[in-house]
Copies of this chain bind each other. A is one copy, B any other.
Amino acid sequence: MDLNTINSMSYEEFLDIFGNIIERCPIITAAIWSQFPFASVTELENSVYDFIESLPLTGKEGILRCHPDLAGRDLMRGTLTDESQTEQAQAGLTALTPKERETLNLLNSQYKAKFGFPFVICAKMSDKNKIMRELASRLQNEQSQELQIGIAEVKKICHLRVNDLFLNVKLPTKL
């Protein structure tokens, strides 16, 4: 995909395609449109990361709280975003045994009770066994560490989603 194509988009076109590069936070995509044109994909991504870093701590916690639990309520209800559905499926989280799901739900609950936000990990760079080990291990951290680690994972997820869009998206023919 040609970056010029992106740079010529209205905010509505940009939001239609890039609105979920940060899970359920279209405001961030909408905000960085103000910085058009971008000289590179990296510059586009850095705008997202800079915006996240400009937020108060509560805003960063808010970003994490917009993420679904892994193999949790939204997956069961079919209300995951398309991106999360794909990522959780690729990590094997849509095909857990009842025992595995029970363990993961218990760990997720303990994590949320301790930190006040969900466990966020770049599932696409992981698999179900690694995710469960990571979750059990990160549960031992302090809140401030976990906020930092969670936001770093959000950025990894964003990077992969942007990459996917640049590789795969079929743009409207009029552009």
Q: Which residues of A contact B (CB under 8 A)?
A: 10-12, 15, 24-35, 51, 54-59, 61-63, 65-66, 73, 112, 116-117
Out of B34, B35, B54, B66, which one reaches A30, CB within 8 Å? B66
CB distance from A21 to the nearest CB of B (A): 13
Specify the chain B residue showing the minimal Cβ separation from A69.
B12
CB distance from A60 to the nearest CB of B (A): 8
Contact of A62 with B27 in the complex, beta carbons under 8 Å: yes
Out of B35, B59, B116, which one reaches A27, CB within 8 Å? B59
CA distance A61 to B66 in the complex (A): 20
Contact of B112 with A61 in the complex, beta carbons under 8 Å: no
